[in-house]
Amino acid sequence: MRRFQHYIDGEFSDGEASYPSIDPASGAVWAEMPEAREGDVDLAVNAADRALYEGPWPKMTATQRGKLLYRLADLVAANAQVLAELETRDTGKIIRETSAQIAYVAEYYRYYAGISDKIEGAYLPIDKPDMDVWLRREPIGVVAMVVPWNSQLFLSAVKIGPALAAGCTMVVKASEDGPAPLLEFARLVHEAGFPAGVVNIITGFGASCGAALGRHPKVAHVAFTGGPETARHVVRNSAENLASTSLELGGKSPFIVFADADLESAANAQVAGIFAATGQSCVAGSRLIVERSVKDKFVALLREKAEAIRIGAPLDMATEVGPLATKRQQDHIGALVARSIESGARLVTGGSKIDGAGYYFPPTILDCDDVASPSLIEEFFGPVLSVVSFETEAEALRLANDTRYGLASGVFTQNLTRAHRLMKGIRAGIVWVNTYRAVSPIAPFGGFGLSGNGREGGMAAVLDYTRTKTIWLRTSDDPIPDPFVMR
C-alpha cells in the first residue's frame, strides 16, 4: 500500500495521524494519507511565515521567482502522466481528462512565471510640492489555500501560480478526499528549488485541519474553493484575524439553447458540459433551458448521446464516464434525484446508482418543465441534467437568472444581436457563446452570489495576492518649520 507524506518547511514528514484513502473505482483502500491537525497546521504556517520574512525568498528578485516558476512548469509537464494516474486512482476522474488537464496545468505555471517581474507599482502625481509618493506592491503575506477533491492540481495551480508570482508564501491544504496528486506535486516543488517554507502542502479533515488553517493568526489571506456552506465557515474563521478571503464556490449554471442553434453542436457541448468529470465540475451546465419548439428533438438527441457514453474503469483510456469520487457523493446524488422525481420531475434516462463495486452513477436527465423541482435549485455536483423550456428570449433570461448561484452559463444561438443581449443580461461570471467549458490561464474565472467572489486566472488574480504600501518622500532640504508657529 502506498504511503504519502506532508511537505512542511522543505521536508517530507508523516502527519500527526493518518487515514486510509479509498479507490472510488473499487471501494477498496489503496493508500495511507497523512492527517494534519492543529499541530501540523501550526508548523506549516510558521514555516511559511519565516520563509516570508527571514528566508532567502524575500531577497530574491521577481525575475528569479519567475525562473523557479518556469522550472516548476517544466517539471509538471514532464511528470504530467504520473500525476494524472495518481489523480485518477485517488479520485476516479478518468485518465483521459486528468492527462489533458494536468498537461495544461503546466501552462498556468508558465503564464504566472512570465508575470512575476511585470507586477508594477506606481508613482503618484501628488498635489503637494517637494514630495515624491510611490505605491509599492508587496506580497499580501502567508496565504492559506483550501481546495476540494475534484481537479486538485488545477484548482491549486490557479492559486499557487499567482501567489508565488506575487512573492507570497503559502500552506496548501489538499482535500481529504483524493489528496495523492497534490502531495506528490510537492516533490516537484522541492525539485524546482523553492526555498524551504515557501510552499507547504498538507492534508487533513475540514473541521480540524481546514478550520485551524483558516483561523491561524499568521494567515493573511484565505483562498478557498469548495461549497458555499463550507465557505461560510471559512469567512467566520477568517473574521478572527480579519484575514481577506477569495471564494470560488459551486454553481447551477444555465445552458440556453435557442431553436436556431446548431443542435448537434449544442448537444455535444451540453453532454460535455454536464457529464464530463462525471458532473463533478463547478461549471457543469446543469440546467438546460431549451426553446420549446425544439425541446423534444434536442432532449432525444441528448438521451441518445447519454446512453451511448462508455462507463468504466477510470484508468482505461476508452472510458468516458468514471465513478464519483466518494460514496457520500453517490448517496447525495441518488437522494436528490429521488426527491426531484417525487416533486414531479420526469426521468428521461439514468436515475439511480449502478450496483456493484465502486461509486458509479449513470448520466441522468430529468425533465423538470412546469414543476418546482429541487434539481433546478440544488447543486448535484454529479452527472444529472435538469431540463426546462421557454417560449421567449425574456423567459429564457428570467429562467437563467432564477438561481442564487452565478458561476458560468452557455448560450447557443446563431442570432448575433440576441447573443449580445444575453451576454449582458445573464448574471454569471462566465458566459460562453456557442461553446462551453473553455478555460485559459489568460482569462479570469469566478462567480457572483453563492458562487463566490474571487477571480482566478489572468493578471487580476496576481493583484489579489498583493497589498499596496504608500511611500512619502520629502525632497526639500529646507528644515521642516515649527508646526506651532503661525505664518
> What are the catalytic residues?
248
Q: Determine, following the binding rule CB under 6 A, whether residue 211 of this chain makes contact with ligand NAD.
A: yes
Q: Determine, following the binding rule CB under 6 A, whether residue 430 of this chain makes contact with ligand NAD.
A: no
Q: Determine, following the binding rule CB under 6 A, whether residue 92 of this chain makes contact with ligand NAD.
A: no
C-alpha cell at 470: 504608500
Q: Which residues pair with 410 in a beta bridge?
A: 255, 432
Q: Determine, following the binding rule CB under 6 A, whether residue 314 of this chain makes contact with ligand NAD.
A: no
Contact 334, 352 (CB under 8 A): yes
Q: Determine, following the binding rule CB under 6 A, whether residue 248 of this chain makes contact with ligand NAD.
A: yes
Three-state SS for 5?
A: coil
> Which one-letter DSSP state was computed for residue 300?
H
Other CB atoms within 10 Å distance of the CB of residue 11:
13
Q: Kindly determine how many residues on this chain lie close enough to bind ligand NAD according to the rule CB under 6 A.
A: 29
Q: Which amino acid is at 258?
A: F
Q: CA–CA separation, 150 vs 167, rounded Å?
A: 27
- Rule CB under 6 A: choose which of 37, 218, 233, 305 binds ligand NAD: 233
Residue 309 Cβ, how far from ligand NAD at the closest point, in Å? 22
- Which CB atom, from 202 or from 397, has the smaller least distance to ligand NAD? 202
Q: Determine, following the binding rule CB under 6 A, whether residue 181 of this chain makes contact with ligand NAD.
A: no
- Rule CB under 6 A: choose which of 227, 312, 374, 444 binds ligand NAD: 227
Ramachandran region, residue 243 (left: φ > 0; alpha: ψ -120 to 50; beta: rest): beta
Q: Determine, following the binding rule CB under 6 A, whether residue 210 of this chain makes contact with ligand NAD.
A: yes
Q: Determine, following the binding rule CB under 6 A, whether residue 202 of this chain makes contact with ligand NAD.
A: no
Residue 359 Cβ, how far from ligand NAD at the closest point, in Å? 14
Residue 68 Cβ, how far from ligand NAD at the closest point, in Å? 25
Q: Determine, following the binding rule CB under 6 A, whether residue 155 of this chain makes contact with ligand NAD.
A: yes
- Which CB atom, from 116 or from 281, has the smaller least distance to ligand NAD? 281
Starting at the edge strand that comes first in sequence, how are the strands of the sheet with 17-23 ordered? 2-3, 28-35, 17-23
Contact 226, 146 (CB under 8 A): yes
C-alpha cell at 453: 467572489
- Which CB atom, from 121 or from 227, has the smaller least distance to ligand NAD? 227
- Rule CB under 6 A: choose which of 92, 214, 285, 441 binds ligand NAD: 214
C-alpha cell at 266: 449544442
Q: Determine, following the binding rule CB under 6 A, whether residue 157 of this chain makes contact with ligand NAD.
A: no
What one-character-per-residue DSSP string does 141-173 give?
Answer: -EEEEE--STTHHHHHHHHHHHHHHHT-EEEEE
Q: Determine, following the binding rule CB under 6 A, whether residue 230 of this chain makes contact with ligand NAD.
A: yes
- Which CB atom, from 213 or from 267, has the smaller least distance to ligand NAD? 213
Q: CA–CA separation, 119 vs 464, rounded Å?
A: 12
Please report where in the chains the cell 429564457 appears, as a residue: 396
Selected range binding ligand NAD among 25-33, 87-95, 96-104, 247-255, rule: CB under 6 A: 247-255
Selected range binding ligand NAD among 34-42, 210-218, 270-278, 388-396, rule: CB under 6 A: 210-218
- 448 burial level (CB within 10 Å; 0-12, 13-18, 19+): middle
Residue 406 Cβ, how far from ligand NAD at the closest point, in Å? 11
Using alpha carbons, select from 248, 25, 87 the residue that is nearest to residue 158.
248
Q: Determine, following the binding rule CB under 6 A, whether residue 173 of this chain makes contact with ligand NAD.
A: yes
Q: CA–CA separation, 333 vs 352, rounded Å?
A: 9
What one-character-per-residue DSSP string does 264-292 give?
Answer: HHHHHHHHHHHHGGGG--TT---EEEEEH
Longest dimension (CA), the chain: 90
- Rule CB under 6 A: choose which of 150, 200, 319, 364 binds ligand NAD: 150
- Which CB atom, from 55 or from 226, has the smaller least distance to ligand NAD? 226
C-alpha cell at 105: 496545468
- Which CB atom, from 95 or from 249, has the smaller least distance to ligand NAD? 249
Selected range binding ligand NAD among 129-137, 229-237, 311-319, 413-421, rule: CB under 6 A: 229-237
What one-character-per-residue DSSP string does 224-240 give?
Answer: EES-HHHHHHHHHHHHT
C-alpha cell at 29: 483502500
Residues 261-300 within binding reach of ligand NAD (CB under 6 A): 282
Q: Determine, following the binding rule CB under 6 A, whether residue 159 of this chain makes contact with ligand NAD.
A: no
One symbol per residue from 347 to 386: x for binding ligand NAD (CB under 6 A), - otherwise; what is it?
--------------------------------x-x-----
The site for ligand NAD (CB under 6 A) is made up of 146-150, 155, 173, 175-176, 205-207, 210-211, 214, 225-227, 230, 233-234, 248-251, 282, 379, 381, 407
